[in-house]
A = this chain, B = another copy of it.
Amino acid sequence: MRIGAYGEVMMRLTPPEYRTLEQTHSLRMDFTGTGVNLLGNLAHFGLETKMLTQVPDNRLGDTAKANLQTYGIQTTFVGKRHNHIGSYFAEVGYGARPTYVTYQNRHNSSFGVSGPETYEIDTYLAQIDLVHICGISLSLTEATWQTALAVAKAAKQQEVEVCFDFNFRPSLNDAKNRAMLKARYETILPYCDIVFGSTRDLAELLDYRKAFSGETDEQLIQSFMKEYHIKWFCGTKRLAVADQQFISGRIITQEGTYETKAQLLQVLDRIGAGDAYAAGILYGYSNDWSIKKSADFAITNAVLAHTMLGDVCLTTIEQVEQVMQAPGTDLIR
Protein backbone atom coordinates (compact mmCIF):
# COMPACT_ATOMS: atom_id res chain seq x y z
CA MET A 1 0.00 0.00 0.00
CA ARG A 2 1.25 3.45 -0.91
CA ILE A 3 0.46 6.06 1.74
CA GLY A 4 0.12 9.82 1.41
CA ALA A 5 -0.54 12.66 3.81
CA TYR A 6 -1.76 16.20 3.43
CA GLY A 7 -0.39 18.26 6.28
CA GLU A 8 1.99 20.90 7.56
CA VAL A 9 5.77 20.61 7.73
CA MET A 10 7.03 22.48 10.78
CA MET A 11 10.48 23.32 12.05
CA ARG A 12 11.12 22.07 15.56
CA LEU A 13 13.87 23.77 17.56
CA THR A 14 15.03 22.00 20.72
CA PRO A 15 17.65 23.01 23.31
CA PRO A 16 20.06 20.16 24.13
CA GLU A 17 20.33 18.18 27.37
CA TYR A 18 16.98 19.16 28.95
CA ARG A 19 18.05 22.79 28.97
CA THR A 20 15.68 25.74 28.76
CA LEU A 21 15.92 28.34 26.01
CA GLU A 22 17.49 30.82 28.38
CA GLN A 23 20.25 28.39 29.29
CA THR A 24 21.59 27.76 25.82
CA HIS A 25 22.69 29.24 22.52
CA SER A 26 22.43 25.86 20.82
CA LEU A 27 19.30 24.43 19.23
CA ARG A 28 18.61 21.17 17.42
CA MET A 29 16.64 21.73 14.19
CA ASP A 30 14.24 19.04 12.97
CA PHE A 31 11.33 19.02 10.56
CA THR A 32 8.12 17.50 11.79
CA GLY A 33 4.33 17.58 11.66
CA THR A 34 1.66 14.90 11.98
CA GLY A 35 1.96 13.86 8.33
CA VAL A 36 5.74 13.90 8.37
CA ASN A 37 5.90 11.84 11.54
CA LEU A 38 3.47 9.29 10.16
CA LEU A 39 5.00 8.93 6.70
CA GLY A 40 8.57 8.94 8.02
CA ASN A 41 7.76 6.00 10.24
CA LEU A 42 5.83 4.15 7.52
CA ALA A 43 8.76 4.63 5.12
CA HIS A 44 10.95 2.95 7.72
CA PHE A 45 8.41 0.13 7.75
CA GLY A 46 9.08 -0.27 4.04
CA LEU A 47 6.02 1.44 2.55
CA GLU A 48 6.15 3.98 -0.26
CA THR A 49 5.09 7.36 1.14
CA LYS A 50 4.45 10.75 -0.43
CA MET A 51 3.77 14.07 1.22
CA LEU A 52 1.36 16.73 -0.13
CA THR A 53 2.28 20.10 1.28
CA GLN A 54 3.86 23.50 0.63
CA VAL A 55 7.16 24.72 2.04
CA PRO A 56 8.83 28.13 1.61
CA ASP A 57 10.53 28.93 -1.66
CA ASN A 58 13.85 29.65 0.04
CA ARG A 59 16.68 27.92 1.91
CA LEU A 60 14.27 26.77 4.63
CA GLY A 61 12.11 25.04 2.06
CA ASP A 62 15.19 23.35 0.57
CA THR A 63 16.20 22.19 4.03
CA ALA A 64 12.71 20.96 4.89
CA LYS A 65 12.63 18.85 1.72
CA ALA A 66 16.08 17.40 2.36
CA ASN A 67 14.94 16.38 5.84
CA LEU A 68 11.77 14.71 4.56
CA GLN A 69 13.88 12.76 2.09
CA THR A 70 16.17 11.56 4.90
CA TYR A 71 13.13 9.96 6.50
CA GLY A 72 12.43 8.23 3.19
CA ILE A 73 9.41 10.37 2.27
CA GLN A 74 9.00 11.22 -1.41
CA THR A 75 8.83 14.96 -2.01
CA THR A 76 7.64 15.22 -5.62
CA PHE A 77 4.43 16.87 -4.41
CA VAL A 78 6.07 19.17 -1.90
CA GLY A 79 5.60 22.58 -3.49
CA LYS A 80 7.67 25.68 -2.82
CA ARG A 81 5.80 28.97 -2.34
CA HIS A 82 6.14 32.14 -0.22
CA ASN A 83 8.73 32.41 2.51
CA HIS A 84 7.56 31.35 5.93
CA ILE A 85 7.49 28.02 7.73
CA GLY A 86 5.66 27.38 11.00
CA SER A 87 7.97 26.53 13.87
CA TYR A 88 7.88 25.46 17.46
CA PHE A 89 10.37 25.41 20.31
CA ALA A 90 10.37 22.41 22.64
CA GLU A 91 11.97 22.80 26.06
CA VAL A 92 12.16 19.15 27.02
CA GLY A 93 11.05 18.48 30.58
CA TYR A 94 12.37 16.10 33.21
CA GLY A 95 10.55 14.53 36.13
CA ALA A 96 8.07 16.99 37.59
CA ARG A 97 9.00 19.62 35.04
CA PRO A 98 6.77 19.35 31.96
CA THR A 99 7.93 19.81 28.39
CA TYR A 100 7.03 23.34 27.21
CA VAL A 101 6.10 23.84 23.58
CA THR A 102 6.08 27.39 22.21
CA TYR A 103 4.54 27.82 18.76
CA GLN A 104 5.59 30.53 16.34
CA ASN A 105 3.20 31.95 13.72
CA ARG A 106 1.63 29.07 11.79
CA HIS A 107 -1.18 30.94 10.07
CA ASN A 108 1.08 32.84 7.71
CA SER A 109 3.19 29.87 6.74
CA SER A 110 3.53 28.69 3.14
CA PHE A 111 1.26 25.81 4.11
CA GLY A 112 -1.24 28.00 5.91
CA VAL A 113 -1.77 30.38 3.00
CA SER A 114 -2.01 27.73 0.27
CA GLY A 115 -5.45 26.66 -0.95
CA PRO A 116 -6.52 23.70 -3.11
CA GLU A 117 -5.65 25.50 -6.36
CA THR A 118 -1.96 25.36 -5.44
CA TYR A 119 -1.85 21.55 -5.43
CA GLU A 120 -2.16 18.90 -8.14
CA ILE A 121 -4.53 16.87 -6.01
CA ASP A 122 -5.74 14.42 -8.65
CA THR A 123 -2.30 13.52 -9.95
CA TYR A 124 -1.16 13.07 -6.38
CA LEU A 125 -4.01 10.80 -5.39
CA ALA A 126 -3.46 8.67 -8.49
CA GLN A 127 -0.12 7.64 -7.00
CA ILE A 128 -1.30 6.55 -3.55
CA ASP A 129 -3.79 4.13 -1.97
CA LEU A 130 -4.56 5.89 1.28
CA VAL A 131 -4.28 9.51 2.33
CA HIS A 132 -3.98 10.86 5.86
CA ILE A 133 -5.53 14.18 6.83
CA CYS A 134 -4.92 15.84 10.16
CA GLY A 135 -7.75 17.72 11.88
CA ILE A 136 -5.47 20.68 12.51
CA SER A 137 -5.89 21.63 8.84
CA LEU A 138 -9.58 22.20 9.60
CA SER A 139 -8.84 24.90 12.16
CA LEU A 140 -5.60 26.41 10.89
CA THR A 141 -6.80 28.66 8.04
CA GLU A 142 -9.63 28.83 5.54
CA ALA A 143 -7.13 27.77 2.85
CA THR A 144 -6.05 24.61 4.66
CA TRP A 145 -9.65 23.72 5.47
CA GLN A 146 -10.62 24.06 1.81
CA THR A 147 -7.63 21.96 0.78
CA ALA A 148 -8.32 19.24 3.32
CA LEU A 149 -11.91 18.99 2.10
CA ALA A 150 -10.88 18.96 -1.55
CA VAL A 151 -8.39 16.17 -0.88
CA ALA A 152 -10.97 14.11 1.00
CA LYS A 153 -13.62 14.53 -1.70
CA ALA A 154 -11.25 13.72 -4.56
CA ALA A 155 -9.96 10.71 -2.65
CA LYS A 156 -13.48 9.35 -2.32
CA GLN A 157 -13.96 9.78 -6.03
CA GLN A 158 -10.67 8.12 -6.92
CA GLU A 159 -11.25 5.29 -4.41
CA VAL A 160 -8.29 6.29 -2.31
CA GLU A 161 -8.98 5.56 1.33
CA VAL A 162 -9.02 8.43 3.80
CA CYS A 163 -7.57 8.31 7.29
CA PHE A 164 -8.57 11.24 9.46
CA ASP A 165 -7.09 12.29 12.79
CA PHE A 166 -9.33 14.50 14.96
CA ASN A 167 -6.35 16.15 16.63
CA PHE A 168 -8.80 18.50 18.29
CA ARG A 169 -7.12 20.51 21.03
CA PRO A 170 -9.70 22.48 22.99
CA SER A 171 -6.94 24.73 24.36
CA LEU A 172 -5.85 25.81 20.88
CA ASN A 173 -9.37 26.40 19.70
CA ASP A 174 -10.87 28.38 22.54
CA ALA A 175 -11.05 31.53 20.54
CA LYS A 176 -12.38 29.78 17.49
CA ASN A 177 -15.96 29.52 16.67
CA ARG A 178 -16.64 26.05 18.02
CA ALA A 179 -19.79 25.82 15.94
CA MET A 180 -17.90 26.50 12.74
CA LEU A 181 -15.36 23.86 13.61
CA LYS A 182 -18.10 21.31 14.35
CA ALA A 183 -19.58 22.01 10.95
CA ARG A 184 -16.26 21.51 9.24
CA TYR A 185 -15.64 18.18 10.97
CA GLU A 186 -19.16 17.07 10.03
CA THR A 187 -18.55 18.05 6.44
CA ILE A 188 -15.37 16.04 6.02
CA LEU A 189 -16.23 12.93 8.05
CA PRO A 190 -18.48 11.33 5.37
CA TYR A 191 -15.36 10.93 3.22
CA CYS A 192 -13.32 9.16 5.90
CA ASP A 193 -12.59 5.44 6.39
CA ILE A 194 -10.27 5.30 9.36
CA VAL A 195 -10.50 7.77 12.20
CA PHE A 196 -8.16 8.53 15.09
CA GLY A 197 -9.96 10.16 17.98
CA SER A 198 -11.44 9.84 21.44
CA THR A 199 -14.85 9.92 23.03
CA ARG A 200 -13.95 13.38 24.22
CA ASP A 201 -13.75 14.50 20.60
CA LEU A 202 -17.17 13.03 19.89
CA ALA A 203 -18.71 14.38 23.07
CA GLU A 204 -17.14 17.83 23.22
CA LEU A 205 -16.75 18.74 19.61
CA LEU A 206 -19.49 16.79 17.82
CA ASP A 207 -22.03 16.93 20.66
CA TYR A 208 -22.51 13.20 21.05
CA ARG A 209 -23.44 13.82 24.66
CA LYS A 210 -22.81 10.69 26.62
CA ALA A 211 -23.79 12.23 29.92
CA PHE A 212 -27.36 12.78 28.82
CA SER A 213 -27.96 9.63 26.86
CA GLY A 214 -26.52 7.19 29.36
CA GLU A 215 -24.67 5.43 26.56
CA THR A 216 -21.40 3.67 27.25
CA ASP A 217 -18.22 4.87 25.66
CA GLU A 218 -18.35 2.15 23.11
CA GLN A 219 -22.02 2.70 22.21
CA LEU A 220 -21.23 6.33 21.67
CA ILE A 221 -18.43 5.45 19.28
CA GLN A 222 -20.54 2.84 17.51
CA SER A 223 -23.24 5.38 16.73
CA PHE A 224 -20.58 7.72 15.42
CA MET A 225 -19.05 4.98 13.27
CA LYS A 226 -22.40 3.99 11.87
CA GLU A 227 -23.33 7.56 11.05
CA TYR A 228 -20.16 8.10 9.07
CA HIS A 229 -19.47 4.54 7.84
CA ILE A 230 -16.12 4.44 9.62
CA LYS A 231 -14.15 1.18 9.35
CA TRP A 232 -11.63 1.58 12.17
CA PHE A 233 -11.84 4.01 15.08
CA CYS A 234 -8.51 4.11 16.89
CA GLY A 235 -6.97 5.82 19.88
CA THR A 236 -4.71 5.56 22.91
CA LYS A 237 -5.25 6.03 26.61
CA ARG A 238 -2.67 7.27 29.14
CA LEU A 239 -2.80 6.52 32.83
CA ALA A 240 -0.54 7.24 35.77
CA VAL A 241 -0.09 4.79 38.65
CA ALA A 242 2.23 5.64 41.51
CA ASP A 243 4.54 7.97 39.61
CA GLN A 244 4.66 5.66 36.64
CA GLN A 245 3.02 6.29 33.31
CA PHE A 246 1.26 3.69 31.17
CA ILE A 247 -0.29 3.68 27.73
CA SER A 248 -2.76 1.38 26.01
CA GLY A 249 -4.20 1.33 22.51
CA ARG A 250 -7.62 0.47 21.17
CA ILE A 251 -9.18 -0.24 17.79
CA ILE A 252 -12.93 -0.36 17.33
CA THR A 253 -14.64 -1.74 14.26
CA GLN A 254 -18.33 -2.11 13.73
CA GLU A 255 -17.81 -5.77 14.57
CA GLY A 256 -15.86 -5.42 17.78
CA THR A 257 -13.21 -3.84 19.93
CA TYR A 258 -9.67 -4.72 20.92
CA GLU A 259 -7.74 -2.96 23.62
CA THR A 260 -4.10 -3.73 24.33
CA LYS A 261 -2.54 -4.27 27.71
CA ALA A 262 -1.25 -1.13 29.39
CA GLN A 263 2.45 -0.68 28.71
CA LEU A 264 4.91 1.06 31.00
CA LEU A 265 6.34 4.25 29.53
CA GLN A 266 9.88 5.52 30.01
CA VAL A 267 9.86 8.89 28.39
CA LEU A 268 12.81 10.49 26.66
CA ASP A 269 10.75 12.66 24.29
CA ARG A 270 7.01 12.81 24.59
CA ILE A 271 6.17 14.51 21.31
CA GLY A 272 5.08 12.50 18.28
CA ALA A 273 4.17 9.31 20.12
CA GLY A 274 0.56 9.51 18.98
CA ASP A 275 1.71 9.63 15.38
CA ALA A 276 3.83 6.53 15.96
CA TYR A 277 0.71 4.74 17.17
CA ALA A 278 -1.09 5.83 14.02
CA ALA A 279 1.81 4.61 11.89
CA GLY A 280 1.60 1.20 13.53
CA ILE A 281 -2.15 1.03 12.95
CA LEU A 282 -1.89 2.01 9.30
CA TYR A 283 0.87 -0.53 8.78
CA GLY A 284 -1.40 -3.25 10.17
CA TYR A 285 -4.34 -1.97 8.16
CA SER A 286 -2.35 -1.89 4.95
CA ASN A 287 -1.29 -5.50 5.56
CA ASP A 288 -4.81 -6.68 6.41
CA TRP A 289 -3.71 -7.61 9.89
CA SER A 290 -6.30 -8.31 12.57
CA ILE A 291 -7.14 -5.45 14.89
CA LYS A 292 -5.40 -7.36 17.69
CA LYS A 293 -2.20 -7.78 15.75
CA SER A 294 -2.39 -4.19 14.52
CA ALA A 295 -3.00 -2.63 17.93
CA ASP A 296 -0.35 -4.71 19.69
CA PHE A 297 2.17 -3.71 17.04
CA ALA A 298 1.09 -0.08 17.14
CA ILE A 299 1.21 0.29 20.90
CA THR A 300 4.71 -1.21 21.02
CA ASN A 301 5.71 1.27 18.38
CA ALA A 302 4.22 4.08 20.44
CA VAL A 303 6.13 2.92 23.51
CA LEU A 304 9.33 3.00 21.46
CA ALA A 305 8.49 6.46 20.13
CA HIS A 306 8.70 7.76 23.70
CA THR A 307 12.29 6.51 23.86
CA MET A 308 13.50 8.35 20.76
CA LEU A 309 14.41 12.02 20.57
CA GLY A 310 12.46 13.98 17.99
CA ASP A 311 8.88 13.76 16.73
CA VAL A 312 9.55 11.24 13.98
CA CYS A 313 9.71 7.66 15.17
CA LEU A 314 12.33 5.91 13.05
CA THR A 315 11.68 2.33 14.13
CA THR A 316 11.83 -0.52 11.64
CA ILE A 317 9.58 -3.59 11.57
CA GLU A 318 12.45 -5.67 12.92
CA GLN A 319 12.93 -3.37 15.89
CA VAL A 320 9.27 -3.34 16.85
CA GLU A 321 8.97 -7.10 16.52
CA GLN A 322 12.14 -7.66 18.50
CA VAL A 323 10.68 -5.69 21.42
CA MET A 324 7.34 -7.52 21.14
CA GLN A 325 9.05 -10.91 21.21
CA ALA A 326 11.70 -10.23 23.80
CA PRO A 327 10.68 -7.26 25.93
CA GLY A 328 13.31 -6.33 28.48
CA THR A 329 16.27 -7.08 26.23
CA ASP A 330 18.65 -4.21 26.72
CA LEU A 331 21.52 -5.03 24.41
CA ILE A 332 21.52 -6.48 20.92
CA ARG A 333 24.75 -7.35 19.17
Chain A interfacial positions (CB closer than 8 Å to B): 13, 16-30, 58-60, 62-63, 65-67, 69-72, 83-85, 87-89, 91, 93-105, 108, 169, 171, 240, 243, 245, 263-268, 270-271, 300, 303-304, 306-310, 314, 316, 319, 322-323, 327-333
Contact = CB atoms under 8 A, between A and B. Distances in A.
15 contacts: A17-B17, A18-B309, A24-B29, A25-B29, A59-B91, A87-B104, A88-B333, A94-B308, A95-B267, A95-B268, A97-B319, A98-B330, A99-B331, A267-B330, A270-B330
Tally of this chain's copies: 6
A43 B149 CA distance: 34
A259 to B, nearest CB: 19
> Nearest 9 A-B pairs (CB), nearest first?
A95-B266, A101-B333, A97-B307, A21-B63, A94-B307, A69-B69, A84-B105, A70-B70, A95-B307
B22 A25 contact: no
A131 B308 CA distance: 39
Contact of A309 (B17, B270, B309): B17
Which of A60, A88, A104 gathers most chain B CB within 10 Å? Answer: A104
A19 B323 CA distance: 18
Contact of A69 (B26, B70, B319): B70
Contacts of A62: 21-22, 316
Contacts of A13: 13, 27, 29
A96 to B, nearest CB: 5
Contact of A264 (B72, B98, B243, B331): B243
A309 to B, nearest CB: 6
B309 A97 contact: no
B29 A27 contact: yes
A22 B17 CA distance: 19
A97 B26 contact: no
A45 to B, nearest CB: 13
Contacts of A22: 62-63, 66, 70, 314
Nearest to A62: B22
A331 B94 CA distance: 10
Given A21-B63, A101-B331, 6 more contacts: A24-B29, A27-B27, A97-B319, A98-B329, A98-B331, A98-B332
Which of A24, A30, A304, A333 gathers most chain B CB within 10 Å? Answer: A333
